[in-house]
A and B are shown apart, each in its own frame.
Chain A
Amino acid sequence: MGELQLMKGNEAIAEAAIRAGCDAYFGYPITPQSEVLEYLMSEKAYERTGMVVLQAESELAAINMVYGAASTGKRVMTSSSSPGISLKQEGISYMAGAELPCLIVNVVRGGPGLGTIQPSQADYFQSTKGGGHGDYRLLVLAPASVQEMSDFVKLAFDLAFKYRNPALILSDGVIGQMMEKVELFEQQPRATTFDQSWVTTGKTPNRERNIITSLNLDPVLQEQHNHHLQEKYERMKAEVRFERYHCDDAEYLMVAYGSSARICQKAVLLAREKGIRVGLLRPITLYPFPSEPLLELSKQVKGILSVEMSAGQMIEDVRLAVHDTVKVEHYGRYGGVIHSPEEVLDAFMKKIVGG
């Protein structure tokens, strides 16, 4: 067993980045994730591993620094919270188009606009359906604990390089600000072991030039490139991850990710104290979405409550997965208010069991 630490989720992200052999972090501070940059600076990541840690002049600058550094085949990341991630969407779309691996962390806060600094999960659409312009997808991981904040940094880099695609960790103010114990993984070397044949680190005489661009003025070629991307997004579906919680004998189901999944775990336990057999399916990857396991579970249950700190975004994927074969309702507080386990249980009783 590795060393156990008590850490904030944001600190775990930063420590894991150092340990995952991340080569560069470019960011701009914003609540509730400023601890990521603060930690990298106070831990002197640049001395521990030689990692570049840079506070850019803006979010736009930061994401374009990520674009440039990712073009050299390095492990590069940025982090922000909702309004900052919106500013980064142009760069993210370019990187998806240019097929550049990188890690983006969004510690979500209430919106729209500048909104509030309190936790929210209302960036689901932006994260899973593209976010910027064009037909593209990110690999989206949703940690529900500080341990997963650490583990998913390494996983996200692995997946980003495996598919040459930006990966996103979709967290929120609860998981970012809370402390839990975390078992840190061993320091990894900064040297990358992934395919480097596409990188732009200087042309050698024995090969063609590598060009990294998202621009292709020939629509036929651009369509071909889109076909290639779509084929890749299909292959990414093999990475689907989820957790079943008290599902085996479940008569009802809740579906929730991130901090809402933790709140639902408590709601499940409270319901079971009343003798109601409810389970929880927790999507760990939001793209790819665990549609098949959800469809499978829907055959044994009488109703599904999709719980998210939003006005109802993930529920669309839940409904698509179960094909209207069973009742699906949404519950969630939003705009920065966190629902309590009791509120979730109450909504579950009214909308699913009683309704």
Chain B
Amino acid sequence: MNEEIIIAGFGGQGVLSMGKILAYSGIMQNMEVSWMPSYGPEMRGGTANVTVILSDERVSSPVLNTYDTAIILNQQSLDKFEDKVKPGGLLLYDSNGITRHPIRKDINIQLVEAATESARMGSTRTFNMIVLGAYLKTKPIVALENVLKGLKKSLPSRHHHLMTLNEEAIKRGMDIVKPFHP
């Protein structure tokens, strides 16, 4: 198993921390992992992205040009990364704020309305966990129990009381994710 993921969206959406939780989940499952953030000028433009690799073998390049999975959370990222998904790969996106939907027919496209759902749950901070849940439903590469362990590891202890809410958000994401056909 070698899963190469790009997560891309606005700064503040929890892109980097979602990647970190995924990486920690991989460690809990004895996988090799890497987490490589964008830093610098492109972040100042308001977009943030992170490359996460989970693998049964030693990770080679932490920097990639094509991905098995793209998790896309704004229009700029969709424009930038839709073409970078490998044929047969996965594109998971939130349609909130999207004006041009994905068009590729050679990949698996899944839609999760995480922004809407997090508002419904009464906490926008659950947004990235809803997206994570949607991803895990589509590609269950790490077991939920390991994700929860990873979540606990990456949350500062002052936020541990939010574990239940986050777990609920992951499960919501699993429930509401649905295929999108261009």
Interface residues, chain A, CB within 8 Å of chain B? 4, 6, 31-32, 116-118, 173-174, 177-181, 259, 262-263, 265-267, 269, 338, 340-343
Contact = CB atoms under 8 A, between A and B. Distances in A.
A179 B54 CA distance: 12
A180 B40 contact: no
B27 A341 contact: no
Interface in B77-108: none
A249 to B, nearest CB: 18
Interface in B19-43: 20, 23-24, 27, 32-37, 39-41
A179 B32 CA distance: 11
Contacts of B40: 31-32, 116-118
A154 B46 CA distance: 38
A148 to B, nearest CB: 13
Contact of A263 (B24, B32, B41, B63): B63
B59 interface: yes
A263 B20 contact: no
A338 B27 contact: no
29 contacts: A6-B23, A6-B33, A6-B35, A6-B153, A31-B40, A116-B41, A117-B40, A117-B41, A174-B62, A177-B37, A178-B62, A179-B23, A179-B33, A179-B34, A179-B36, A180-B34, A180-B59, A181-B27, A262-B60, A262-B62, A263-B61, A263-B63, A266-B64, A267-B61, A269-B60, A340-B61, A341-B60, A341-B61, A342-B65
B63 A338 contact: yes
A118 B37 CA distance: 12
Question: Which 10 interchain pairs have the tightest Cβ spacing?
Answer: A340-B65, A265-B60, A266-B61, A179-B35, A266-B60, A178-B36, A263-B61, A117-B40, A178-B62, A341-B61
Nearest to A336: B40
B64 A340 contact: yes
B35 A180 contact: yes
B106 to A, nearest CB: 18
Contact of A117 (B39, B59, B63, B154): B39
Contacts of B27: 4, 6, 181
Interface string B112-143: 00000000000000000000000000000000
A263 B62 CA distance: 7
A266 B107 CA distance: 23
A267 B60 CA distance: 9
Nearest to B28: A4
Contacts of B110: none
B115 to A, nearest CB: 27
A63 B82 CA distance: 47
Interface string B35-73: 111011100000000000000000111111110000000
Nearest to A119: B63
Contacts of B39: 31-32, 117, 173, 177
Nearest to B32: A181
Given A259-B62, A263-B60, 8 more contacts: A116-B41, A174-B36, A177-B37, A178-B62, A262-B61, A266-B60, A267-B61, A340-B61
